[in-house]
A and B are shown apart, each in its own frame.
Chain A
Amino acid sequence: MNTLISRRALGALLVSTGLTLSLPAFAQNEIKIGYNADQSATGAAELGLAGLYGFQAAIEDLNAQGGVLGRKIVGVVRDDAGAPPKSIQNMNELIDNEKVAAVVGPTNSGNALAWLHIPQQKKVPVISHVATATDITARYAKEAQNYIFRVSMVDREQLALLTAYAVKASKTKKIAIIADTTGYGQAATKDLQEILALHGITPVGIEKFGPKDTDMTSQLAKLKAAGADMVLSGSLGDATAQVLKSMEKMDYYPGLLSTWSSINTPLVNIAGPKLSEKTIFAASTTEDANDRAVALNKRLIAKYPNMPAFVSAAQGYDAVMLIAAAVKQADGTDGPKLQQALENLGKVQGIIKLYDKPFSKEQHEALGVADFHLAQWKNGRVVKVDDAVVKGLTAADLKR
Chain B
Amino acid sequence: MTAFLQALASGLALGAIYGLIALGFNITYATTKTFNFGQGAFLVPGSLVGVSLLLLAAGKPHFGNLSQQEMTLAAYGLATVASVVVVGAIGVALYYCAIKPFVGAGGLNWVLSTIGFGIIMQNTALAIWGPASIAVPSPLGSEVWRIAGAGIRPQEVLIAVVAVAVMIGLDIVLRKTRFGKALRAVAFNPQAAAIVGINVETIVILAFVISSGLAGLAGILIAPITTASVFIGLGIALKAFSAAIVGGLTSPRGCMLGGFLLGVVEALVGLWRAEMREITIFLLIIVVLVVRPGGLMGARSVEKI
Contacts and interface: CB of A to CB of B under 8 A. Distances in A.
B7 to A, nearest CB: 5
B226 A217 contact: no
A225 B142 CA distance: 26
B130 A251 contact: no
B245 interface: no
Interface in A217-234: 217-219, 221-222, 224-225
B3 A248 contact: no
Q: Is the contact region of chain B dominated by helix, strand, or loop, or is it mixed?
A: mixed
B151 interface: yes
B225 to A, nearest CB: 5
A272 B142 contact: yes
Contacts of B13: 215
B132 A43 contact: yes
Contacts of A218: 3, 6-7, 10, 267-271, 274
Nearest to A306: B64
A105 to B, nearest CB: 18
Given A207-B274, A238-B227, A250 B235 contact: no
Contacts of A222: 3, 271
B270 A219 contact: yes
Nearest to B13: A215
Interface string A37-49: 0001111010000
A337 interface: no
Instruction: Select the residue from B3, B142, B146, B225 with max chain A CB neighbours within 10 A.
Output: B3
A42 B271 contact: no
A41 B235 contact: no
Interface string B109-146: 00000000000000000000011110100000010101
A249 B132 contact: no
A80 B151 CA distance: 41
A270 interface: yes
A125 interface: no
Given A41-B131, A272-B142, A249 B151 contact: yes
A117 interface: no
A212 B235 contact: yes
Contact of A249 (B10, B131, B271): B10
B3 A221 contact: yes
B144 A249 contact: yes
Instruction: Select the residue from A208, A209, A214, A225 with max chain B CB neighbours within 10 A.
Output: A214
Interface string A183-218: 000000000000000000000000111101011011
A200 B149 CA distance: 35
B274 A219 contact: yes
B174 interface: no
Nearest to B7: A218
A266 interface: yes
Contacts of A82: 131
Contacts of B227: 238, 266, 270
B151 A221 contact: no
B203 interface: no
A379 interface: no
Contacts of B10: 215, 217-218, 249
Contact of B132 (A45, A207, A217, A219): A45
B219 to A, nearest CB: 14
Instruction: Select the residue from A40, A82, A207, A250 with max chain B CB neighbours within 10 A.
Output: A250
A363 interface: no
Interface string B264-293: 000111110011000000000000000000
A41 B152 CA distance: 32
B215 interface: no
A82 B149 CA distance: 42
B131 A217 contact: no
A41 B132 contact: yes
Contacts of B33: none
A56 B112 CA distance: 49
A222 B153 CA distance: 21
B71 to A, nearest CB: 12
B240 interface: no
Interface string B4-31: 0011001001100000000000000000
**Nearest 5 CB-CB pairings of A with B:** A218-B270, A249-B151, A269-B135, A221-B3, A270-B135
8 contacts: A42-B132, A214-B225, A217-B151, A218-B267, A221-B3, A249-B10, A249-B153, A266-B227
Interface of B: 2-3, 6-7, 10, 13-14, 65, 130-133, 135, 142, 144, 146, 149-153, 225-227, 231-232, 235-236, 267-271, 274-275
Given A209-B274, A212-B226, A215-B14, 5 more contacts: A45-B132, A215-B267, A221-B2, A248-B151, A249-B153
